[in-house]
Amino acid sequence: MASRLSQPLTIKLQLTLVFGALVVLASVVITWALGGMLRERVRTDAGRVLTLLAGNAARILANDLTINADMVDLLARREAVWTAGLDSPEAQRTLELIQATAPRTHLWVGVADAAGTVRAATGDLLRGQSVAQRAWFQRGQEGPFVGDVHPAKLLATLVPADRDGEPQRFVDYAAPVVLDGQRLGVLGVHASWDWVGEVVDTVLSTQARGSGIEIFIFDREGHVIFAPRGQSQKLAADGVRMPPLQGAGPAVATWHDGAEWLTAATRLPASRALGDLGWTIAAREPAETVFADVRDASRHALMVGVLAALVGALLVRFAAVRLGADVRRLSKAAREIELGVPGARLPPAASSAELRSLADALGRMTTRLMATQGDLERQVRERTAELEAANAELGRQARTDPLTGLPNRRTFDLQLDHALAAARRNGQPVAVLMIDADHFKRINDLHGHPVGDDVLVMLAGVLRARLRESDLLARYGGEEFVALLPGAGQGDALAVAQALVAAVAARRSAVYGQVTVSVGVAAAPPGEAITRTLMRRADEALYRAKAQGRNRACADGEGVADAGGASEI
């Protein structure tokens, strides 16, 4: 028995073992090379998507911050508001108007005198209390100011918790109130940090969330100030910081939870209104999810290689004479495939039919690997295109009118299509009001465009306050507004229009006096085939109201409803 074990192995057995080992090695090398190339391609494409998401979030955040800062600065410099004093009814109405532009975000709006005592505020919160030590008051005395996120202090027990049940945090906007060259005080707005969560929800599509993509925001020192799933303040208390990224682009980084995430980061753009807050917006996706297809393809390729090795080991026993030359050719081709030589492929074997079959099997394995790589790359490109298209559409829809804070015409047109379709399905009426400021050009010519802008802001506040929550008010262009009233018939819509005309005419300003509006009303009753001609009919009714003296509402196909007579402004 011992004598038989000491005998050398036969040439056939040796060739079988050696050739099988070479084929397995070639399979491993090919799998490793193709897997590495595919992994890099997937990382690049997925990183491009994360960079796009982080950039979109940064742009929307910067745009919203700038709009709010400009609005506070504009109203602080509007002398007509403060002429009667910081605690005058006009000042109080202005504070309420600021809050009405974003009631869920602007939780507190107030004005403090030069000594830091709150003279007027929405809901009378903090009235009579001192805010002299607060950063927004101190910095707001020097000029327009946008503060970094901070927890609520004086208002901690006076405002509700945020949408995740955590204590409120604020971003402050402030600007000095100056009248006749004398600084009277500071106008301040405390905006809820919930706003950031709404922006992130807008940027992330359902498909992105399904892939596990998340967005974080870090401050100038790298501390977390926003995290998904209501973890912001918990992670901040734990001292979580932004993980270091290797290189300038997206990279795989180990986060605070010990898991690896593909991460892309971008800085919040600085501007004249904001300065440089130093925020970093980071988008991440689990590395396990990103590279799952690569791992599956590599595992499959390795299994195919092992199977091919077993087949080759059986066939090589019958090809001992010309096996050496074929093995050398196959090894050379495997090295070329490993190096990524263009057009590299396994050559056919000439020594025997069995070895030729092995070479063909290996060739098919290579072809299948290449096909798998092509399929994965196509899937990645399709997913990238879908995410880019979805985020481009979200970015387009997220735009509002920067002056009044109302939805713009593009948003209104989209909502109108939805409302018309719902009316057809449910057999409900729907109405449209076309609202135009009378003699608005005269206001601009006499008082200047800044006063004209104040008039538009005033009109937006008055009109919005008179409409239902279910109604949609938008700035349609210039001095023209449009309102969508779902479920309203022509009689109800005309009554609403008359109330709007009266409400606007009742307002008086020390600067520009009285402003009036004309309203055109068009409605479609239940069951009628509703089309986009509804807008044209409302526009025609508006022209009739203008022709019949202004300061009135006119319904489509009916007479005129006068709200106090036509005033020539």
Give the active site residues: 479
Q: Which residues contact 47 (CB under 8 A, 6 or more apart)?
A: 249, 250, 251, 262, 264
| CB atoms closer than 10 angstroms to residue 259 | 12
113 - beta bridge partners?
185
At 83, give phi and psi (nearest 5°).
Answer: -60, -40
Q: Which pair of tokens denotes residue 194? A: 């919930």
In 472-504, which positions are buried (b, 16+ CB within 10 angstroms) versus exposed (e)? bbbbbeebbbbbbbbbbbbeebbebbbebbebb
> 3-class secondary structure for 32-62?
HHHHHHHHHHHHHHHHHHHHHHHHHHHHHHH
- Kindly compute the dihedral angle of the four CA atoms of residues 500, 501, 502, 506, in this order, to the nearest 10 degrees: 100
Distance CA 535, CA 98 (A): 30
Whose tokens are 């991440």? That residue is 284
| CB atoms closer than 10 angstroms to residue 25 | 14
In 375-407, which positions are buried (b, 16+ CB within 10 angstroms) versus exposed (e)? ebeeebeebeeebeebbeebbeebebbebbbbb
Q: Which pair of tokens denotes residue 355? A: 């070895």
Q: Which pair of tokens denotes residue 530? A: 């509703």
Residue by residue, DSSP assigns 190-246 as: EEETHHHHHHHHHHS-HHHHHTT-EEEEE-TTSBEEE-TTTTHHHHHHTT-BPPP-S
At 186, give phi and psi (nearest 5°).
Answer: -135, 130
Strand extents, DSSP E, 269-325 = 280-286
* DSSP-derived pairing of the beta strands 430-437 and 260-267: unpaired
- Report yes or no: 361 and 312 within 8 Å, Cβ to Cβ: yes
Distance CA 463, CA 483 (A): 9
In 445-458, which positions are buried (b, 16+ CB within 10 angstroms) versus exposed (e)? eebeeebbebbbbb
C-alpha Rg value of the chain to the nearest Å: 35
- Report yes or no: 122 and 140 within 8 Å, Cβ to Cβ: no
| Inter-helix orientation angle 353-397/409-426, to 10° | 100
